[in-house]
Structure 1
Amino acid sequence: MGRADERSSRIEPVPGEPAAVVRAGGERVLCVADYHAGLEAALRWEGVSLPSQARERREHLLGIVGSRAVERVVFLGDLAHAIGDSRGPERDELEALFAALADRVAVTVVKGNHDGEIESVTGGTNGEIAVTPTGGIRVGDVGFAHGHTWPARRVLEADVLCVGHEHPAVRLEDDVGGTRAERVWLRGPLDPAPFAEHYDEKLDVTGELVVFPAFNDLSGGTWVNVEHQAFLAPFLPDGLADGEAYLLDGTRLGAYRQV
């Protein structure tokens, strides 16, 4: 197995799901991005009335955890939805989620831009929930960061870097001109140029970048195959110049800009 194949094998997307099993630091880790607990409550403030899907989200995740024999769950940022302190239905959802996971797996929350005060919820878990800085964390040869800011150097220089934040999706057209959006994975070699420019120094950036789809299918996304679509992460699209898109069922779509 070549080095590129070995890197790719560390990240095994769960077929049909916005989740992957990651081999990191000797552990089997289930990794998901952009859970956005409490999103429905926030949408109601904007005039969009949707029933809470908190229980369905939790059971969905627990079902994947139970089917994959993992030892840890890593939330790749934006576990919460409110920018500040989680309150009301969002806090209730997070507390129920943590309680359900506590007897099953260890939990790490990689802090995203929506997780500013996530410690106000995890503080009552007796240290069972680890929260990382916004620059991310490196576990063995795998780096985890949310993606709303530049990953820390050590995280960036891992063999594989997993990020969220972007909510990548593609717009697909049918034969009669109809369109639909599908969540996708983005994967490809990291381009070191934007990172070297940002840090103003040469970096050992030779790994693979994996951009996770959003776990929460109500959270919208970046249509990566639409011309002039603005990306959210400061290092995209330049940091993934030759990336490819994959549907949740594993279908390879090819170069994401040409889908």
Structure 2
Amino acid sequence: MRDDPRRAAAGSASPTRVEPVPGEPAATAAIGPERALLVADYHAGYESGLRDERGVDVPSRAPDRRERLSALLERTDPDRLVVLGDLMHSIGDPGGAERGELEVLFESFASDLTVTVVKGNHDGRIETWLAERDAVEATVDIVPGEGVALGDVGICHGHTWPSRAALESDVLCLGHEHPCVRLEDAVGGSRVERAWLRGRLDPAAFRDRPEYEGVSWLERADQSPPAAIVVPAFNDLVGGTWINVTGQSFLSPFLPSGLAGGEAYLLDGTRLGPYEGV
């Protein structure tokens, strides 16, 4: 019997619900009176990056990415789209096909949509041009990679330690890791699937950092730590961390040590259990 991660994602002790969209690398969340759609690691222009960096010629999937996100927006009807970092792929200023992909994407957004972009390690100087595009009718906010709190939901990219405000939320959502599991069958065949990774923050990983002094759940044993949800990459080409393979290094500075009781779920909702034993 499948265990629905939509019930487990935020943890039973948390009033905040972050609900994965079945079959998709995206989640919805209630942020005050707003309904938000959360995605991570869009990596616009990735195919161009493959050509420039590795000499690999891959046809652009920009239209497919845009259509998938547009379908998700129509399906979930959010007030706000939250991108948990790495909206773009280049480290510096976006150019050529990458900038064109982003411009067409943002021009497709409805005027009443608010877009919050957490600045990831691949997002370069995105704040210098995206929020000021004349053809973009949506409201666009760029926030630092360490993240912010939106209502009771903390958001960050994951490549740095989270902000205090994000850490004090009911649930912390992040990207960056591109979590995947490698699944093997009885005859030795294997495949790699994108996965959700969820658990609770482990106080031991955060307690000695001076910027978190006074955070209540770090000092009170009777207070449950926030839930933590690592969102799978929206871009299905980018690969990621095989979280169930021994010797794989996590990318985030606070993972895996900062995650207690981490469990993995496939996009279709299948619960795999503790990620190390999958």
Q: What is the TM-score when the length of structure 2 is the normalising length?
A: 0.88
Q: Percent identity?
A: 57
The secondary structure found in structure 2 opposite 1:138 is: strand
State how 1:26-45 maps to structure 2 within 5 Å.
26-45=33-52
Say yes or no: does 1:153 pair with 2:161.
no
State how 1:166-185 maps to structure 2 within 5 Å.
166-185=177-196
Identify the match of residue 220 of structure 1 among 239, 256, 278.
Answer: 239
The secondary structure found in structure 1 opposite 2:159 is: coil
Between the aligned partners of 1:242 and 1:202, the Cα distance in structure 2 is: 24
Q: What is the TM-score when the length of structure 1 is the normalising length?
A: 0.95
Q: Is the 8 Å Cα contact of residues 167 and 221 (structure 1) preserved in structure 2?
A: yes
Between the aligned partners of 1:204 and 1:56, the Cα distance in structure 2 is: 44
The secondary structure found in structure 1 opposite 2:272 is: strand
Q: Is the 8 Å Cα contact of residues 95 and 121 (structure 1) preserved in structure 2?
A: no
Q: Is the 8 Å Cα contact of residues 77 and 109 (structure 1) preserved in structure 2?
A: yes
Say yes or no: does 1:251 pair with 2:270.
yes
Between the aligned partners of 2:200 and 2:270, the Cα distance in structure 1 is: 19
Tell me which amino acid in the other structure corresponds to 1:12. Answer: E
CA RMSD between the two structures? 1.8
Q: Is the 8 Å Cα contact of residues 156 and 173 (structure 2) preserved in structure 1?
A: yes
TM-superposed CA distance for 1:246, in Å, is 0.3
State how 1:65-104 maps to structure 2 within 5 Å.
65-103=73-111
Q: Is the 8 Å Cα contact of residues 85 and 120 (structure 1) preserved in structure 2?
A: no
TM-superposed CA distance for 1:114, in Å, is 0.7
Query: Do the aligned partners of residues 18 and 4 (structure 1) sit closer, same or farther apart at CA in structure 2, a change above 3 Å counting?
Result: closer
The secondary structure found in structure 1 opposite 2:215 is: coil
Size of the aligned set, in residue pairs, is: 258
Aligned partner of 2:216 in structure 1 is 204
The secondary structure found in structure 2 opposite 1:103 is: coil
- 4+ runs deviating over 6 angstroms: none
Deviations 1:36-66 (CA, angstroms, capped at 9, x unpaired)? 0000000012111111111110000000110
Say yes or no: does 1:235 pair with 2:254.
yes
TM-superposed CA distance for 1:124, in Å, is 2.6
Query: Do the aligned partners of residues 6 and 203 (structure 1) sit closer, same or farther apart at CA in structure 2, a change above 3 Å counting?
Result: closer
